[in-house]
Amino acid sequence: MFQDQNGKLIPVEVAVMKKVGRESVDSEGKSAPVSLLDWYNLHQEVILVQERPVPSHDLFCHIDASGGCLNEEEAKIIMKQLVDAAIHLEKNGVFHRDIKSENILIETGSEVPRVRLIDFGLTSPGPHRLCLYLVGTRDHSPPEWLWFGGYTAGPTTVWQLGVVLFEMVHRSSQFRTIDFLMDRIHIRSTLSENLFVHLQTLQLHQPSVDRGSLFELPFPRFLPIFLPGHRTLGSFSSSS
């Protein structure tokens, strides 16, 4: 439970969804996280009434419907929006902890796919220090968790974004960190140079030294794309 500004205890998922999006019908479709429209505490369970984008399906199904792999241009469009969403969460002090293809909705009602984040049930609000227990998808755990038994929010989010990008551009591939670390799966050499280098950056093993934070990623070079209603690429650089 989380204590709101009025001293009322509310579920963490409700608190987070209130924080990262407006809690009204007017906010539908305006933020990357799906909107929380209402919620009910039934004591033994909590019912959330959330926006349902139509038409849409999750990214896992989107990849499958595309033959098990997306082309690079579509992957870049989706990735840019994902990073934008992750930066929005981080600026609001929110750590999703389980960004993966099944928790990403793709709206398919326009020429450009639109990304929406769902499932904030494992989210942690507030300042983030070293986490000593793992929540989320174990197969996608960051290397530092496997090596040292701890991880931090920023580099872990970058790692999870790398996993999503890997699965988007590798045909019918489901990523497992342990397989990657043991060289049982590899970044394919046939990717374009920019995408190959960027994926390497996202999945570098040393979190604080190499992988860095969302604000340090080389997106202006990686994503020569502008999308209506989104910030320009320069806003992704750490100097903006």
If DSSP states are collapsed to H, E and C, what string results for 30-45? CCCECCEEEEEECCCC
pLDDT at 38: 94
Shared domain for 144 and 164, answered yes or no, is: yes
pLDDT at 163: 93
* Sign of the CA dihedral running 102, 87, 201, 129: negative
Shared domain for 39 and 7, answered yes or no, is: yes
Give how far Cα 1 sits from Cα of 12, 41, 127, Å: 5, 12, 16
Say how far apart CA 94 and CA 136 lie, in whole Å.
Answer: 15
Shared domain for 66 and 150, answered yes or no, is: yes
Catalytic residue of the set 38, 98, 139, 210 = 98
Domain of residue 216, CATH code: 1.10.510.10
pLDDT at 239: 30
Whether 210 is catalytic is no
Say how far apart CA 119 and CA 124 lie, in whole Å.
Answer: 12
Question: Which residues does the chain have with pLDDT short of 50?
Answer: 23-27, 220-240
pLDDT at 209: 52
Q: How many domains does the chain have?
A: 2
Shared domain for 162 and 128, answered yes or no, is: yes
Query: Is there a cis peptide before residue 55, judged by omega within 30 degrees of 0?
Result: yes
Say how far apart CA 33 and CA 17 lie, in whole Å.
Answer: 8
Q: Which of 69, 27, 34, 107 is nearest to 195 (CA)?
A: 69
Q: Are 151 and 144 in contact (CB under 8 A)?
A: yes
Q: Are 153 and 207 in contact (CB under 8 A)?
A: no
- 124: phi > 0 → left, psi -120 to 50 → alpha, else beta; which? beta
pLDDT at 31: 63
pLDDT at 206: 60
Shared domain for 70 and 143, answered yes or no, is: yes
Domain stops at, among 33, 50, 67: 50
pLDDT at 213: 64
Q: Are 192 and 201 in contact (CB under 8 A)?
A: no
Residue 173: give the domain boundaries: 56-236
Give tens-digit pLDDT for 189-230: 899 988 887 787 776 666 655 565 676 665 544 443 333 333
Give tens-digit pLDDT for 90-118: 888 889 999 999 999 999 988 889 999 99
Shared domain for 88 and 102, answered yes or no, is: yes
* Sign of the CA dihedral running 192, 159, 91, 215: negative
Which amino acid is residue 212, in one-letter code?
A: G
pLDDT at 236: 28
pLDDT at 155: 85
Shared domain for 94 and 200, answered yes or no, is: yes
Tokens for 90, please give them. Answer: 């981080």
Tokens for 92, please give them. Answer: 């609001």
Shared domain for 141 and 223, answered yes or no, is: yes
Shared domain for 42 and 73, answered yes or no, is: no
Shared domain for 122 and 185, answered yes or no, is: yes
Say how far apart CA 62 and CA 101 lie, in whole Å.
Answer: 9
